[in-house]
């Protein structure tokens, strides 16, 4: 497992979250006075997006995120996104938060699968950050936060070898391998089957630095080409015209990671059979996790850097619905398998020493078993252990 995967996973999933929230805020036409206290604005989503992006790119938060560390469990990361999505006066109920996370994860999984080269995962990340900068183009302070993260990405990842990027890609694919949730956009575009698995193309541009398949060269022991043989291929391949830019500004060339919700499209999700089976397996495995303390400390550090904005005085928040109607949202909440639903956990982590003391007290009461072969994925029981917080 790569210890450099977590920042890429977090930033790309966060970018997809912002795409979806922006689309839904516009679709629901949230009034300007709700989105920004006492002031009307042409883009009512802007204040909410500003709050979330400012929280997401908090300097202390990014410092913790970029420290080399193993990738944490789905539930641990989901807890962070629950916290992040509620960093403004906007509120999501359980069904909408579930749907939001489903859309985020399946979109980025598809992008990882389609990356021509493992290194191109960095270009996907840059596409997300470029779009995020467009959301806050009129907020120089927040823009500086994103640019600082941009520079940190370039400094951290540009020097990595192709082998290290391959390990990062494998780590991401392992993280996503059991997630097969059907999304209407992918189903209508015929890039996803009815069982939730993606259909990968066999044609198109080959990775930068490689040649179109169809030619075999044979060399003698001295390295001189002595023979050529051609063969037919099933796909229609082309050579890319240029490589995408890995700098702060530039043409990324690769379109993966750009906003696919820029044109209003339905974004329904449907639970596939394989995901239901996974939920049953997760329910059966209820053994305490010996790494729970490590994950709780990780979350305390991350969430300690998040300065969540709460409605001040008499200011009331507003509810965002990711479904077309309230009835659809209620139906989704009733039919969602209980094992795949997550509770929104409010953790007051602004005073980190006190928070650590409380975590230690709670952990001291837990009967944590010794590690055993075949134990559950890290953090499977994380939310259950945190219910008392």
- Beta carbons within 8 Å of 357's beta carbon, 6+ residues apart: none
pLDDT at res. 281 = 44
Residue 320: pLDDT above 50?
A: yes
* DSSP three-state, residue 133: helix
User: pLDDT class for 202, splitting at 50, 70, 90?
Assistant: confident
What is this structure's pTM? 0.73
Residue 45: pLDDT above 80?
A: no
pLDDT at res. 262 = 77
Residue 228: pLDDT above 80?
A: yes
Q: Left if phi > 0, otherwise alpha if psi is -120 to 50, otherwise beta: which for 369?
A: beta
User: pLDDT class for 74, splitting at 50, 70, 90?
Assistant: confident
User: pLDDT class for 274, splitting at 50, 70, 90?
Assistant: very low
What number is the average pLDDT over the span 159-183?
94
- Six-digit token string for 20: 């979806």
User: pLDDT class for 174, splitting at 50, 70, 90?
Assistant: very high
Are 48 and 351 in contact by the 8 Å Cβ rule? The answer is: no
- Beta carbons within 8 Å of 259's beta carbon, 6+ residues apart: 19, 131
- Six-digit token string for 159: 């020097």
- What is the chain's alpha carbon radius of gyration, rounded to the nearest angstrom? 23
CA 355, CA 163: separation in Å to the nearest integer? 39
- Beta carbons within 8 Å of 32's beta carbon, 6+ residues apart: 39, 40, 41, 44
Instruction: Provide, rounded to the nearest whole percent, the portion of the chain with pLDDT above 90.
Output: 43
Tens-place pLDDT, residues 128-166: 999 999 999 889 999 999 999 999 999 999 999 999 999
pLDDT at res. 335 = 63
The domains of the chain are located at: 5-30+43-200
pLDDT at res. 359 = 47
Are 298 and 3 in contact by the 8 Å Cβ rule? The answer is: no
CA 314, CA 133: separation in Å to the nearest integer? 31
Nearest CA to 388 out of 356, 365, 354, 369 is that of: 365
Largest CA distance in the chain: 82
């Amino acid at each position: 497992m790569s210890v450099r995967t977590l920042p890429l996973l977090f930033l790309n999933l966060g970018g997809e979250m912002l795409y979806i929230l922006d689309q839904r805020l516009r679709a629901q036409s949230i009034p300007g006075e709700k989105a920004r206290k006492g002031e009307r604005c042409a883009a009512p989503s802007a204040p909410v997006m500003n709050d979330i992006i400012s929280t997401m790119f908090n300097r202390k938060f990014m410092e913790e995120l970029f420290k080399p560390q193993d990738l944490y469990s789905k539930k641990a990361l989901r807890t962070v996104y629950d916290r992040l999505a509620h960093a403004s006066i906007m509120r999501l109920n359980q069904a909408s938060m579930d749907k939001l996370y489903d859309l985020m994860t399946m979109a980025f999984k598809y992008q990882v699968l389609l990356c021509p080269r493992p290194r191109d995962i960095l270009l996907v990340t840059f596409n997300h950050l470029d779009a995020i900068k467009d959301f806050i183009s009129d907020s120089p302070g927040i823009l500086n936060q994103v640019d600082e993260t941009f520079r940190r990405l370039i400094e951290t990842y540009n020097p990595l070898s192709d082998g290290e990027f391959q390990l990062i890609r494998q780590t991401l694919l392992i993280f996503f391998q059991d997630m097969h949730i059907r999304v209407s956009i992918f189903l209508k575009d015929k890039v996803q089957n009815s069982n939730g698995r993606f259909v990968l193309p066999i044609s198109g541009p080959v990775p930068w630095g490689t040649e179109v398949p169809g030619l075999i060269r044979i060399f003698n022991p001295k390295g001189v080409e002595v023979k050529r043989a051609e063969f037919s291929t099933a796909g229609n391949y082309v050579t890319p015209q240029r490589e995408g830019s890995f700098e702060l500004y530039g043409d990324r060339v690769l379109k993966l990671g750009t906003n696919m919700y820029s044109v209003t499209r339905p974004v329904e999700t449907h639970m596939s059979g394989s995901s239901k089976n996974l939920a049953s397996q997760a329910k059966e495995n209820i053994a305490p996790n010996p790494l729970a303390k490590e994950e709780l400390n990780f979350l305390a550090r991350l969430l300690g850097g998040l300065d969540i904005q709460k409605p001040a005085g008499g200011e009331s928040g507003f509810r965002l619905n990711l479904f077309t109607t309230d009835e659809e949202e209620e139906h989704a909440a009733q039919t969602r398998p209980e094992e795949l639903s997550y509770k929104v956990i409010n953790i007051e982590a602004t005073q980190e020493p006190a928070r650590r003391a409380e975590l230690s007290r709670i952990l001291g009461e837990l009967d944590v078993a010794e590690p055993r072969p075949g134990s559950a994925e890290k953090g499977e029981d994380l939310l259950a252990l945190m219910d008392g917080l």
